[in-house]
């Protein structure tokens, strides 16, 4: 599942490939945009907003896309073979004289007036990788519903934008709290926003997501994807369970010993990762 760091890198690659260049071809393969042609327009910039991508083009238009579960934008040279998936999964093609951007499996693709971008992304909380990151506002939103389970609150993009299921699970571990702990009972809750920012920043330039002090492939995550395997800290088998709405990836991983549901348990020292 693409998270804020993946979207941030995708935006940067798209920006490098398209910004300042005129589109020589546009092919938007969703019914509503079937007759829309952006060719001739210059791409101004591509910016990430949480897990959303905003491709701004000349004439006050923005192509809004979202990768959701397994969408991707790939960039190709003119003669290069497109390898991002079968043709029927292609939703968008944006080409300049020397680069072609192909959007695969995009569940959201719409054209907006740039001045109306707020309709698409205005609901988002402060963006962990955005220029407007505001830790105090993110914390205020997180704590607005103190009974909400920590994992759900972290994943809700209206609270803070950029956390997907991997970072959600890892953050709960680093906070030494069960994903089901009501967030209002989290000791020192400001650590949630501080750690989230630290994890996203540390991973925005890396392809392999690392939340531990180790870059070894089998040790890059504390709990995510490690169901039934021993916790690196205490050796207890990592548990899995479902959390959150059915429309999202719901499997949550946690260590029942390191992440107690009892908020009175003293917190562990700061992680080094
Ligand atoms: Zn443990």
Write down the pLDDT at residue 233: 96
CA 138 to chain CA centroid, nearest Å: 16
Query: What pTM does this model have?
Result: 0.86
Tell me, what's the pLDDT at 248? 60
C-alpha 260 – ligand 1 centre gap (Å): 10
Task: Report the chain's terminal Cα–Cα distance, integer Å.
Answer: 22
**CATH number for domain 4-121, candidates 3.20.190.10, 3.40.50.300, 3.40.50.2020, 3.60.15.10:** 3.20.190.10
User: Residue 256 Cα, ligand 1 centroid: separation in angstroms?
Assistant: 7
- What secondary structure letter does DSSP report for 241? E
| Residues designated catalytic | 2-3, 51, 250
State the pLDDT at residue 83: 93
With DSSP H G I counted as helix, E B as strand and the rest as coil, what are the percentages for the chain, rounded to 5? 25, 20, 50
The alpha carbon dihedral of 165, 186, 231, 205 has a sign of: positive
pLDDT of residue 269: 47
Ligand 1 center–CA 234 separation, angstroms: 4
Instruction: Outline which parts of the chain fall under CATH 1.10.8.50.
Output: 135-254
Residue by residue, pLDDT tens for the chain (273 residues) are: 678 899 999 999 999 999 999 999 999 999 999 999 999 999 999 999 988 999 999 999 999 999 988 899 999 999 999 999 999 999 999 999 999 999 999 999 999 999 999 999 999 999 999 988 999 999 999 999 999 999 999 999 999 999 999 999 999 999 999 999 999 999 999 999 999 999 999 999 887 889 999 888 889 999 999 999 999 999 999 999 988 776 566 799 999 999 998 755 444 444 444
- Which three-class secondary structure state does DSSP give residue 94? strand
pLDDT value at residue 246: 63
Mapping DSSP onto H, E and C, the string for 33-76 reads: HCCCCCCCCEEEEEEEECCEEEEEECCCEEEEEECCCCCEEEEE
For the domain covering 135-254, report its CATH number. 1.10.8.50
Beta bridge partners of 56: 45, 62
Distance 219 CA to ligand 1 centre (A): 14
Q: How far is the CA of 258 from the centre of ligand 1 (A)?
A: 4
Torsion of CA 252, 182, 219, 9, to 10 degrees: 80
Q: Contact at 8 Å (CB) between 244 and 152?
A: yes
pLDDT for position 222: 97
Burial degree of 23 (CB within 10 A; 0-12, 13-18, 19+): buried
pLDDT at 247: 58
| Ranges for all domains in the chain classified under CATH 3.20.190.10 | 4-121
């Amino acid at each position: 599942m693409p998270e804020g760091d993946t979207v941030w890198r995708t935006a940067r690659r798209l920006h490098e490939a398209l910004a300042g260049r005129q589109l020589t071809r546009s092919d938007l393969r969703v019914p509503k945009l079937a007759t829309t042609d952006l060719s001739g327009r210059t791409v101004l910039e591509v910016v990430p907003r949480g897990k959303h991508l905003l491709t701004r083009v000349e004439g006050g238009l923005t192509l809004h896309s979202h990768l959701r579960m397994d969408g991707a934008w790939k960039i190709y040279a003119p003669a290069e073979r497109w390898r991002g998936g079968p043709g029927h999964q292609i939703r968008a093609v944006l080409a300049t004289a020397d680069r072609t951007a192909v959007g695969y499996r995009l569940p959201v693709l719409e054209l907006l007036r740039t001045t109306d971008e707020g309709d698409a992304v205005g609901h988002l909380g402060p963006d962990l990788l955005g220029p407007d990151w505001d830790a105090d506002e993110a914390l205020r939103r997180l704590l607005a519903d103190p009974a909400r389970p920590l994992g759900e609150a972290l994943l809700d993009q209206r609270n803070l934008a950029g956390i997907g299921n991997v970072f959600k699970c890892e953050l709960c571990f680093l906070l030494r709290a069960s994903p089901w702990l009501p967030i209002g009972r989290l000791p020192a809750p400001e650590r949630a926003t501080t750690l989230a920012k630290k994890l996203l920043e540390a991973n925005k330039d890396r392809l392999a997501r690392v939340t531990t002090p180790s870059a070894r492939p089998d040790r890059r995550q504390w709990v995510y994807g490690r169901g039934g395997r021993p916790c690196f800290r205490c050796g207890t088998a990592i548990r899995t369970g479902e959390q959150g709405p059915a429309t999202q990836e719901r499997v949550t991983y946690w260590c029942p010993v390191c992440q107690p549901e009892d908020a009175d348990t003293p917190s562990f020292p700061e992680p080094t990762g």
